């Protein structure tokens, strides 16, 4: 078993570099399957969701070569549809992008149902609605999604009933090779959607409107390989911004697109944190008097749900009562129980957390219950005096590239340790 151990109470100081965005890297890596050619993807984060994606592609017959630590070459020329291993697919949410990629390339997809963090029910009805509109018949049986287009996929008008990042991405991937024009309305507008559209366009796709709520995709017969660099991870950046504020430190967070961080910067400023924005970095200057605020998570450009647990740690440190409302998932507050072990005073009533802040957090043994929940424990551990031990850190490693090394380099007393599994002894007769 691996754990992260933190001796907290030290302000973070210095510069920390943000890696490529997980939620752009996973769909872009998996979308290379659609291309049927050689692609070079740069600024790839070294995280387990990306390694799982590459392993899946390799097992489907793609040739994968790491050209450097953060650059991968993927040649999907000889890949075979329907060949993704169930045990890998179920390890991550983003594996459902294989459905869009296989359907777009072969007109048939056969993929295990995805896994991912547990925030309550996470249906994929909107993905299915989109694929059906493109002409696919879909059945879900024995843990697999089976999608077949009798004829070729054709363009369609699709109105999503809810704003869905995954649905928007999946339909965009499939529609890139469909015959005719697809129009997605009520599309998600996250920066990673724009990044995927830019990648597909660099391979010859004809996608416009990404970043707005209407995306138009004119299907093309053929796509070709390209070299493409992934955008910086706005959630990783936001996480380190919160870590700087929570430790009352001063951090320069580099390799970011400040525009993507606007909703996070605005809330931190409202809490009294000073933020200096540069072209491709932000500087966060924490102070002792954090102010209470109310926050509701929303689709982009609103405050991101993937920052809910991290900002909650700051609300615990701010004087007064703050209200944090979750607007995306029905069960994102599973981490609250862990924060309570550290002395947090939080009451959850369905989608709302009422946070009574102003008390110092105390170090404790805690668990990562999902990716962002896990990293919130890291922030809490950095802020609390004493030794915090975090279990189940494989969740954190799904989305944070070398978090321990990066935080150590800015003054954190943090390490990863391997704890031997308990041995069962047999009594001698």
Distance CA 144, CA 228 (A): 31
Nearer to ligand EPU among residue 88 and residue 384 (C-beta)? 88
- The correct pick among 43, 164, 247, 263 for binding ligand EPU (CB under 6 A) is 164
Burial classification of residue 388, based on how many CB atoms lie within 10 Å of its CB (0-12 exposed, 13-18 middle, 19 or more buried):
buried
Closest to 284 in 3D by CA, of 232, 240, 236, 234: 240
- The correct pick among 12, 20, 23, 50 for binding ligand EPU (CB under 6 A) is 23
Beta sheet of 136-141, edge-to-edge order: 108-112, 144-149, 136-141
Q: For tokens 């996070």, name the residue.
A: 264
- Interaction mask 388-427, ligand EPU, x per CB under 6 A: -----------x----------------------------
Q: Under 8 Å CB-to-CB from 23, ≥6 apart: which residues?
A: 94, 165, 190, 192, 233, 235
Q: Is 117 a catalytic residue?
A: yes
CA distances in angstroms from 264 to 155, 166, 243, listed in the order given: 37, 22, 13
- The correct pick among 3, 91, 127, 292 for binding ligand EPU (CB under 6 A) is 127
- The correct pick among 20, 36, 81, 94 for binding ligand EPU (CB under 6 A) is 94
- The correct pick among 21, 124, 175, 200 for binding ligand EPU (CB under 6 A) is 124
Nearer to ligand EPU among residue 7 and residue 46 (C-beta)? 46
Tokens standing for residue 258: 């400040």
- Interaction mask 39-78, ligand EPU, x per CB under 6 A: ----------------------------------------
Distance CA 363, CA 339 (A): 10
CA distances in angstroms from 178 to 41, 181, 194, 220, listed in the order given: 24, 8, 20, 7
Nearer to ligand EPU among residue 121 and residue 288 (C-beta)? 121
> Which of 39, 62, 117, 242 is an active site residue?
117
- The correct pick among 38, 93, 252, 292 for binding ligand EPU (CB under 6 A) is 93
Active site residues: 117
Q: Which residues bind ligand EPU (CB under 6 A)?
A: 22-23, 26, 93-94, 117, 122-127, 162, 164-167, 188, 305-306, 328-329, 371-372, 399
């Amino acid at each position: 078993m691996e754990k992260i151990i933190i001796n907290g109470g030290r302000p973070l100081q210095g510069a920390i570099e943000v890696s490529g965005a997980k939620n752009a890297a996973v769909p872009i890596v998996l979308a290379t399957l659609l291309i049927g050619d050689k692609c070079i993807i740069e600024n790839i984060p070294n995280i387990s969701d990306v390694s799982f994606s590459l392993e899946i592609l390799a097992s489907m017959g793609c040739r994968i070569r790491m050209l450097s630590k953060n650059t991968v070459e993927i040649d999907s020329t000889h890949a075979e549809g329907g060949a993704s291993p169930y045990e890998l697919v179920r390890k991550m949410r983003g594996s459902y992008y294989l459905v869009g990629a296989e359907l777009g390339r072969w007109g048939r997809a056969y993929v295990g149902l995805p896994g991912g963090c547990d925030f309550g029910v996470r249906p994929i009805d909107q993905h299915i609605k989109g694929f059906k509109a493109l002409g696919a018949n879909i059945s879900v049986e024995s843990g697999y999604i089976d999608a077949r287009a009798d004829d070729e996929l054709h363009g369609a008008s699709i109105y999503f009933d809810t704003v869905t990042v995954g649905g928007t991405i999946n339909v965009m991937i499939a529609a890139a090779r469909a015959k005719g024009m697809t129009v997605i309305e009520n599309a998600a507008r996250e920066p990673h959607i724009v990044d995927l559209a830019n990648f597909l366009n660099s391979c010859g796709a004809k996608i416009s409107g990404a970043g707005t709520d209407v995306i138009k995709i004119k299907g093309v017969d053929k796509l070709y390989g390209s070299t493409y660099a992934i955008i910086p991870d706005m959630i990783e950046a936001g996480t380190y911004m919160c870590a700087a504020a929570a430790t009352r430190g001063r951090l320069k967070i580099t390799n970011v697109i400040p525009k993507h961080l606007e909703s996070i910067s605005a809330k931190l400023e409202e809490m009294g944190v000073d933020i200096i924005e540069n072209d491709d970095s932000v500087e966060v200057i924490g102070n002792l008097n954090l102010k209470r605020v109310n926050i509701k998570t929303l689709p982009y450009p609103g405050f991101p749900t993937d920052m809910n647990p991290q900002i909650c740690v700051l609300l615990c440190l701010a004087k007064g009562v703050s209200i944090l409302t979750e607007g995306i998932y029905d069960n994102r507050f599973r981490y609250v129980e862990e924060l309570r072990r550290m002395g947090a005073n939080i009451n959850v009533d369905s989608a709302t957390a009422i946070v009574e802040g102003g008390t110092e957090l105390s170090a404790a043994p805690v668990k990562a219950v999902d990716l962002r929940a896990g990293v919130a424990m890291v922030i809490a551990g950095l802020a609390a005096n004493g030794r915090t031990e975090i279990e189940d850190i494989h969740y954190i490693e799904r989305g944070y590239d070398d978090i321990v090394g990066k935080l150590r380099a800015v003054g954190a007393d943090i390490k990863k340790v391997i704890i031997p599994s308990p041995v069962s002894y047999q009594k001698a007769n």
